[in-house]
Each structure stands twice: as structure tokens, then as C-alpha cells.
Amino acid sequence: MAFGPLQPARIVFADDGAPPSAPDFGDVYHARAGALAQAAHVFLRGNGLPQRWQRQPRFTILETGFGLGNNFLAAWQAWRDAPARSERLEFVSIDKHPPRRDDLARAHATTPEALRPLVDQLLAAWPPLTPDLHTLVLDGGRVRLRLVFADIDDALPELVVHADAFFLDGFAPAKNPAMWAARPLARLARLAAPGATAATWSAAREVRDGLAAAGFAVERVAGFGGKRDMTVARFEPRHVPPLPPGRRSWPARQVAVIGAGLAGAGVARALAAEGLEVHVFEADAAPAQRTSGNPAGLFHGILHREDGPHARWLRAGALRMQQVLAPLIESGRASGGFGLLRGERGGDAGAMQALLDEQAWPADWVHLSRLRDQPAWSYPGGGWAVPAELVAAWLQSPGITLHLGQRIEGLESSDRGWQLRAADGRVLVSADAVVLANAGDAARLVGEPGWPLQSVRGQLSVVHGAPAGLLPVPVADAGYALQLPDGRVLCGATSQVDDPDPTLREADRAENLATLLRLSGWTPPADARIEGRVGWRLQAQDKLPLLGPLPAVGDTPSHAHQPRHVPRRPGLYVATAYGSRGLTQAALAGEVVAAWLSGAPMPVPARLLDAVDCARYAARLNRKSAC
């Protein structure tokens, strides 16, 4: 389910110091007495903060209207000031009409000096306004802001979150009744952690009744800024339904990851960021020796009129990779760059622009351009990177121990988790959970999982001696061409299914050079030095990755028509089948697996999670048998 198209907020700034207003709703963004003071009184004190997050490993807040971010900034500052705060602060906020970065900056131009560093971090991380769930990592990774740019009625069913506190904000019920309707309030019950609280400045009867119907014990307390009353509540339901098997996490402190390519390194990095102890096992003598050892690779999203799961997943992955890669490039820990052109062979520029206008895509995500004689999509945040350097940087994260030249020959479950054994039977490590990120080799350890997988052979070519500046940014259509800073040009790659031949082929080289000519207009001279490399990519039938806890051995219950209802093998996860889009997906896919394992808020919507869930094929078989 797509959230878009998205329309940014229209904001009117007053010259007399009055609060900014939203003309489309006929309301102001905060009380005249002050946004931060209102946030402290209503949302912090109303939820018993900062006392309730003291000495917690993680505290999660769900907000129903981001607005100009004042409640988030107030919570963030209070969390920083608390001497016994939680180890991590998770803040999930929904907004149908988010502000543009320039408007957000203007709204906070007079923010108190103490909050200035927080505002600057927020502005620097502010994402393109695409209808997605965006993750902003702040405060050195200790604070994560998940922004859900969608209508609240669409967003709440798509969240996989256990909220400790709810900030119920938004324009007044009379101005924006959809935000305060019975259905969205009822949906808070599914997202509430035990003992969750809620607070809002509104004391409207329909709001109190809606919270009570959702299982909250509701009371009125003194309001703020001239309002007599406001509402606070505590979640006290008569019955809490259990989470479905595919949405549960298993407690873990130590995790073993098998595989040290892009997939394994992405998972290890994300697990370490959750504070877990991670052991990475790699059979080769060094990381990133297989397809992840290519000299460079591209990452970018795609644009489809239907904006289906494939387009939404790759867009989310590319946006996250852009965020993760930028500081590594700045610090010199990884090579790469931003900007990419993807041509549409036979495309119509008018129709392409009409699609951009119809779906309201922001120009800092994608806009129309040209690639030689064809119209092209320009992705300012797409680009290229050297996978091996990225893998090396990720594996250097604190909390990760790398074991090279260690081939895992067997997995054994025990009362304390999983044991990883070497060929001689030695136990290499005992772990609470295991993540299989070793591509097609995963089946050797867990048995045939029944996934429709293909091994795709690809040959790329590396051309020396290209003119300087031949390709200022990477270019692609059915193939790609990329010029590295040292002048070498990568082009390719071919694609042959279930072809194990490792030898370089002249026909494949010719195909790659034809791609280079088409995309750049340049033909290497006859004496040019041209190297080649062959690798294999594992992909699923639907070209989406396989992520999450493995389905349980045996028959899946006939009622499990969705992946989330399929029983799982506790503590055994997979991250594989990234296909030709490993660089685009690696950061986000790792964070999805880490959220699944740790119980952190999921960084993608529930239906998109279903689309990449490794149990999806078992669920599809059930649906077919029920027809």
C-alpha cells in the first residue's frame, strides 16, 4: 500500500510574533504561550516524563502530528538533560503534510540557543518529502526519529512499534476531525506497550471517549496556556492479544552473523547499533571477496506509476543508503559520490514529466533530465560506492568481532540459543541468535527452505584510459557505466541465469562495451587495457530480498495467509537474495533484521515488511490452497 502522493504543508508565518498557521486547516501550529512550553506541560509532564524513561534500555514515543517538530525537540532536549535517561530514545511521528526544509528552518529561526544544535541536526538530516517511513539517526545514534509521511488512517495500521508514550497532537478536532476519529484512536491499542501513557492538549469528549474505547483509563487535568483542561491516559486493557509469530522478537545479547559481504556487514552494523554483541564469520580470508568485491557499484531507487512494493522498497533502501554513506565519504572511510542518471530507452519526456507531476515527486528525490539521446530520471541522492570499503567501515563498528577463514559447517539449537560448529566439530561460538547472510550457502545449514531462487551470473568490464570527465555521474538504463576518480570506467553487467561458468567471455565483454558506447558515446581504442570480473548474484523470483526469522520446520497452519502469521524458528534469521541491488538494499535490510531481532521500531511499513519477509512464499502457498 503506497502512502502517496504527498503534499507538503502550506505554512503562513505572521509578522507580529503570532504562531505559524496552516490555512488549509484554519488553525495554528501551537499555543501563543509558546510551543516548547506547551510541549513540556502537555506531552512531557502529561506522560510522566522524564521519570518514566529513566534507566530503560529503550523508550519509544509515538506522535500523531509532527507539525514543526517542537514536541520532538522538547522531548529530545529533556532526554539529553535527564541524568538517568534511557540508553536510546525512539521517536515515531506521523504527518500527512510535513514542512519543507526551508519552512522548518524559518519556523526555528528564533529557537532558544540551547536547542540550536538539535535544530541544526534535524535540518541537516531532513529527508526528501516522499510518502515513506524515513529514519533519521541523531545524537550519535542514541536518538532515532522515524518520520511517517502519510495520512494517519493509512499510517497507523502500517506501524510495527511498541510505544511507551503517545503524544496526541494535531489541529483541533473541529478543524481536523479525521485525526481524532474513533478509528485511529482505537488503533493505538495495537501499538501500545504495557503501561503505555498518552497525553493531549485536547479535552474534547470524542477524544476522551475514543481513548477509553481503546482500553485507556482517561482523566482530565489542568491544561496549558489558558485552557482549563487537557487529557491524560494510561493503557489498561482487559485483554492484550499476542503478537503474530512473524512480528515477535527474541531476547538476544549475542548474535552470530554468517557472511561478511554487503548483506552480512549491513546486518552486523545494524545489530551493533542496537547495542548487541556481534560475531561475524566469513569462510574467505578477507571480507567482501565475492560479488561484494566488485570495484564499485550503484545505488538508486526506481519510479513506477503503481508505486508497488518493489519501487517502494528500493526507494526506501536508496534513501537510507544516501544517509548512511554520506558521513563515511566525508570522513574518507569510503569512496563514493552522489548523483545518477537512469535513461528510459524509448521513453517520452512529456509522459515522464506528467508522471512526476501526478505523483508529486520532489525534485531532490527525482526529476527529469536527459542522457544523450534519451530522456532520463535524475536521482540527486543516488550514486556509487566501493562495496569493499563500505563493508570494511561497517565491520569496524564497536561491538563487532570478525572471524575470517572460519567456515561454519553446522548449526545446533540448544536451551541457550545456537551453537556454530567448525568442520572438526568444535563449537566456535554460542549465540542467542544467528543471521544467515551467506547467500545461497544458507540452505546448506538450514535445509531447503522452498524459496524460488536463481543464481545469476554477471560479467563486468573495467576499461582503462578513458578521457577525464567522460562520465561526471554514473549512468544507467538496462546496463550501467561508472567512471572512478582514477579514470577507470566500469561497464556492464551481463546477466545469465544458472550459469556457473567462471571464465571471462569475449561476447560478454563486447556486450559491456556496447553498453558503454550507448551510455557515454565513447568507444575505447583497440589497444585499450580492459579487464573483466565474473560474479554471481542470488535473487528471488519476485526480485525482493529474503529477510527475517526463518519459517518453522513442518507444515504452516492453513490460516497463515500472511507472512506475519507464519510460525518461526526462534533465533534463526536470514538476510539474502539482494540480487543486483545489494548496495541499494544493504543498509536498510540490515536495519530491518536488527529491528526484528531487537524489538526496535520497524524502519519500514508493515505491508512492505510482508513483501520482503522470508516467510512470504509459505503464506502464498496457503492462499493458493484456500482458493
Question: Per-residue pLDDT tens for 603-618?
Answer: 999 999 999 999 999 8
Distance CA 436, CA 438 (A): 6
Distance CA 52, CA 47 (A): 8
Q: What integer pLDDT is reported at residue 2 of this predicted model?
A: 84
Q: Work out the pLDDT band at 15, boundaries 50, 70, 90.
A: confident
pTM attached to this predicted model: 0.96
Q: For the residues 230-247, what does the mean pLDDT come to?
A: 90
Query: pLDDT by residue (tens digit) across 259-273?
Result: 999 999 999 999 999
For 245-290+390-452+542-626, CATH gives 3.50.50.60
Q: For the residues 377-390, what does the mean pLDDT come to?
A: 98
Query: Is the confidence at residue 555, as pLDDT, over 70?
Result: no
Q: For the residues 572-582, what does the mean pLDDT come to?
A: 96
Distance CA 131, CA 362 (A): 10
* Strands 277-282, 254-258: pairing kind: parallel
Distance CA 202, CA 560 (A): 40
- The architecture (CATH level 2) of 453-540 comes to 2-Layer Sandwich (3.30)
What's the per-residue H, E or C state across 112-123? CHHHHHHHHHHH
Q: What integer pLDDT is reported at residue 66 of this predicted model?
A: 96
What mean pLDDT is reported for the chain?
A: 94
> Can you tell me whether residue 625 is helix, strand or coil?
helix
Q: What integer pLDDT is reported at residue 334 of this predicted model?
A: 97
Query: pLDDT by residue (tens digit) across 85-126?
Result: 999 999 999 999 999 999 999 999 989 999 999 999 999 999
Between 226 and 221, the more confident residue is: 221
Q: What integer pLDDT is reported at residue 251 of this predicted model?
A: 82
| Residue 197 φ then ψ, to 5° | -120, 165
Query: pLDDT by residue (tens digit) across 273-308?
Result: 999 999 999 999 999 998 899 999 999 999 999 999
Between 536 and 246, the more confident residue is: 536
Query: Is the confidence at residue 533, as pLDDT, over 90?
Result: yes
21-235 and 245-290+390-452+542-626 share one fold = no
Q: What integer pLDDT is reported at residue 230 of this predicted model?
A: 96
Using CA atoms, how far residue 361 sits from 130, 155, 378, in Å, is 7, 19, 12
* Strands 336-343, 374-385: pairing kind: antiparallel
543 sits in the region (left: phi over 0; alpha: psi -120 to 50; else beta) called: left
Instruction: Evaluate whether 371 touches 472 at the Cβ level (below 8 Å).
Output: no
Query: How many residues would you count in the chain?
Result: 627
Domains of the chain by residue range: 21-235, 245-290+390-452+542-626, 453-540
CATH fold of 21-235 reads Rossmann fold (3.40.50)
Number of Cβ within 10 Å of residue 446's Cβ equals: 15
> Can you tell me whether residue 534 is helix, strand or coil?
strand
Cell numbers for 118: 538539535
Q: What integer pLDDT is reported at residue 383 of this predicted model?
A: 98
Max CA pair span of the chain:
84
Where does 458-581 have alpha helices with state H? 506-520
Using CA atoms, how far residue 143 sits from 86, 276, 303, 425, 491, in Å, is 10, 17, 31, 42, 40
Tell me which DSSP letter residue 128 carries.
Answer: P
Q: For the residues 568-575, what does the mean pLDDT come to?
A: 95
Query: pLDDT by residue (tens digit) across 399-435?
Result: 999 999 999 999 999 877 899 999 999 999 999 999 9
Q: What integer pLDDT is reported at residue 219 of this predicted model?
A: 96
Cβ contacts of 417 within 8 Å, gap of 6 or more: 252, 254, 430, 431, 432, 433, 571
Number of Cβ within 10 Å of residue 587's Cβ equals: 28
Q: What integer pLDDT is reported at residue 627 of this predicted model?
A: 61
Distance CA 475, CA 464 (A): 18
Q: What integer pLDDT is reported at residue 559 of this predicted model?
A: 73
Query: Is the confidence at residue 483, as pLDDT, over 90?
Result: yes
Query: Is the confidence at residue 580, as pLDDT, over 90?
Result: yes
Query: pLDDT by residue (tens digit) across 585-602?
Result: 999 999 999 999 999 999
Q: Work out the pLDDT band at 388, boundaries 50, 70, 90.
A: very high
Query: Is the confidence at residue 58, as pLDDT, over 80?
Result: yes
Between 507 and 447, the more confident residue is: 507
Q: Work out the pLDDT band at 556, boundaries 50, 70, 90.
A: low
